[in-house]
Amino acid sequence: MDQRTIDIFAWIRALGEDRGELQYAALPRLASLLASETGTLAWESRGWVERPAGGSEVMMLRVLASARPMLTCVNCLEPVAVDLAVDRTLRIVGDEASAARLDEQEPEIDVIAGSRRFDLLELIEDEAIMALPPLARHDQCEVPGRWHDEDDEPEAESSGALAALASLKKGSPGGVQ
Ligand SMILES: [Zn+2]
C-alpha cells in the first residue's frame, strides 16, 4: 500500500510528473458503477510551484484522465459506451484547515489538503467518478431496432422461397397423380 502513496509536497517541489493506465478492476469504487470491469483508464498528473509576486509559493497539481467505460443504458438496460474525461487543476495546501479556509475565501479555486502519504490514484478515481455522466442511453437502442431490420430484409428471400414452393406445388399435382 505504501507504494501507492507519495509525499505530494516533495513530489510537487520536484516538478513531479507521472502517467499510467489502470484496469477498472483496480478502481473498485469506479468499477462498481460500470456495466463491465473490462477496460482501462489512462491518466497523467503533473505538479508545479507558482510564486505570485509578493505572495508565498503555491503548490499546484493537474490531473488528467480519459476512458471509454460501459454504463447501463437507461432505456434498454444493455451496455453503452460513454466518454469519460477528467482535466482538473488543484491547489494543494498543507492541511484540511487551510483547505477549508481557502475554500471559503476563494471558492473559485479548487483546493485540497496534501499529505506526505498522498494517494494520487484515489484522487484520480474520485475525479473519474465525478466525471461519469449521471445517466447513459444509446442514441438508438439496438434491441427494438433489430426487429425492423430483420423484418424487412428477408422478405425478398422468403418470397423467393415461396415462389419456389408455389412452382413446386404447381408442378406436383400433375406429376403425383
Ligand atoms: Zn439502449
Q: What is the pLDDT at residue 75? A: 95
Round to whole Å and give the CA distance between 114 and 60: 10
User: Separation of 40 CA from ligand 1 center, angstroms?
Assistant: 23
pLDDT confidence of residue 55: 85
The pLDDT value recorded for residue 106 is 87
Q: Ligand 1 centre and the CA of 31: distance in Å?
A: 20
What is the distance in A from the centroid of ligand 1 to the CA of 83? Answer: 16
Residue 128, classed as helix, strand or coil, is: helix
In the prediction, which pLDDT does 159 show? 53
In angstroms, the CA 49 to CA 150 distance is 61
Q: Which three cell numbers stand for residue 171?
A: 408442378
Question: Residue 66 Cα, ligand 1 centroid: separation in angstroms?
Answer: 23
Question: Which residues does residue 86 pair with via DSSP β-bridges, in sequence order?
Answer: 65
> How far does the centroid of ligand 1 lie from the alpha carbon of residue 135, in Å?
11
Per-residue pLDDT of the chain (177 residues; tens, 9 = 90+): 446 899 999 999 999 999 999 999 999 999 999 999 999 999 999 999 999 888 889 999 999 999 999 999 999 999 999 999 999 999 999 999 999 999 899 888 899 999 999 999 999 999 999 999 999 999 999 876 544 444 444 444 445 555 555 555 555 454 444
pLDDT at 113: 96
Distance CA 46, CA 130 (A): 20
Domain locations in the chain?
2-139, 143-176
